[in-house]
Structures are given as C-alpha cells and as structure tokens.
Amino acid sequence: MADTLQEGIRLFRLKRWEGALKEFLAVDSSRFGLEENADLAYYLGLCYTKLERYDDALLYLEQVVTSGAYPLRCVQCRLALAYIYVITKRSRLAEFELKQLIDSGYESIQIYTTLAYAAWTQQQYEKAVEYYQSALDIDANNATALNGLGYILADAAIDPVKGLYYCKKAVDKKPQNAAYLDSLGWAYYKNGALIEARIYLRRAYDLAPQHEEIRRHLKTLVRVSS
C-alpha cells in the first residue's frame, strides 16, 4: 500500500474522521494501480459514511464493489451501502445489496436485521418477522434482533404478548438503550398495560429526548391516559 495513504489510515483507526478524510483527499492517486485506487475509495467511502455525507459515500463505496478487489471489503461496502439506503429511505436498494450478499453465500446477523428493518419501513411486516427470526437463528441472544422482532409483533398486532416477551429480553441485555426501552414501553402500551408503558417510555425519553419516535409514543400514551 502506498505510503501516502498511511497517515489517513492512522487517523481513520483513531476515529478522527475529518482528519482522515482531509489526508485521503490530498493523496495524488494519478500513479495508483487498481488495488491502491480501491484502497483509497474504500477509506473515502467509510469516512464519508461516518461523517453522514451519504451522497459522497455512495460514490466511493460503489467503486469498491464494482472493482472486485478485496472480496471482504466488498462485503463491508455492500453492508455500508445498505445502511445508507435504509436511513435515506431507499429500502428497495438496501434489499438489493443485502440479497446480493446472501446469494453470494454470506449470512450474518447484521444482514438479516438490516433486511428486516428495510422490510419494516415498507410495511412488509411478515417478511420483517422472518428476517429477524433468521437473525435469531444465528444468535438467539442478539439484542438488536430481539428488540426488532418484539417491536413488530407488538406494533403490528401480530402477537403483542410474544412481542412484549422479546422486548423484555432485549432490555435485559441492554437496560440503558433508549430504543429498546421505547420498544418495551410501546409493547406494554399495545398490551393495555398503561402504567408499565409510562414507566419505560419515560425512561426512554429521559435518555433520548430528541428522538422523534420516542416523543411520539410518549405523547400518544399521555393523550390516551388523560
């Protein structure tokens, strides 16, 4: 790997994304070969992702994927692409990237939980449940999958009692996670247990008062209880 990339990589590993990006952008890649250009695109894509500059990130992540260099990095970049597509509300593109990985023989909890979230954003609840269950088949104690599955089962009224069970398990794993506390509070609400719902939704709000969905859930509960 070219020495000119080393300082940027050092800063990247220290999670100093702005500094790393500045170093990578200053690199003269005119004499780089295929692999060195793939290295540079890889780090640029990840830096832009960390800095939430998603349009820039997509450009470089796609370069890595299409280059075919470093198969494991291609997997990581597809996951990053899927993440960006989900949070920018392009769920079908996220599904495409993740299914490409599965078709290539890669399976992981992260792939299935992201697929599940993408399905949920499209109101494909049964599909989302299947993906979360696939994640739990890999690790039955994964908090992300437990929380996601529990929330959907309760929120979509598929099986609110079982949803409450999974949400409790997620909170047991990570009791200070605001999103998990919110899911548990909402699951209690969907089961008609308003006192317990208020306790956990309030805890979630205290940890993350800026979170829009937590605020919405708490306002709904207050309106119903008043």
Q: What is the mean pLDDT of residues 150-174?
A: 98
What is the domain count for the chain? 2
Same domain, 20 and 49: yes
Predicted TM-score (pTM) of this structure: 0.80
Same domain, 69 and 160: no
Split at pLDDT 50, 70, 90, the class of 201 is very high
User: CA–CA separation, 131 vs 214, rounded Å?
Assistant: 24
Q: Domain boundary at 51, 71, 106, which?
A: 106
77-94 residue pLDDT tens: 999 999 999 889 898 999
Same domain, 132 and 91: no
Please check whether residue 189 is in contact with residue 167, taking contact to mean a CB–CB distance below 8 angstroms: no
Q: Is residue 117 part of a domain?
A: no
Q: Is residue 190 part of a domain?
A: yes
Structure-token match 């692409």, residue found: 81
**Residue-level pLDDT at 28:** 86
Q: Is residue 113 part of a domain?
A: no
Split at pLDDT 50, 70, 90, the class of 4 is low
Same domain, 131 and 209: yes
52-74 residue pLDDT tens: 999 999 999 999 998 877 888 88
CATH number, domain of 35, equals 1.25.40.10
Q: Is residue 54 part of a domain?
A: yes
Maximal CA-CA distance, the chain:
69
Same domain, 155 and 222: yes
28-38 residue pLDDT tens: 888 888 888 88
Split at pLDDT 50, 70, 90, the class of 132 is very high
Q: Where are the alpha helices (DSSP H) in 51-177?
A: 54-67, 71-87, 91-103, 109-121, 125-138, 143-155, 160-173
Q: Is residue 120 part of a domain?
A: no
For the four alpha carbons of 208, 158, 172 and 191, in that order, the dihedral sign comes to: positive
Q: Is residue 112 part of a domain?
A: no
Phi/psi of residue 211, nearest 5 degrees: -75, 120
Same domain, 150 and 219: yes
DSSP string, 86-116: HHTT-HHHHHHHHHHHHHTT---HHHHHHHH
Same domain, 88 and 1: yes
Q: Domain boundary at 77, 106, 135, which?
A: 106
Domain that holds residue 8: 1-106
Question: Cβ–Cβ contacts within 10 Å for residue 6, how many?
Answer: 11
Q: Domain boundary at 61, 78, 106, which?
A: 106
Split at pLDDT 50, 70, 90, the class of 175 is very high
User: Does residue 1 have a pLDDT over 80?
Assistant: no
97-128 residue pLDDT tens: 999 899 988 889 999 999 999 999 889 999 99
Same domain, 141 and 219: yes
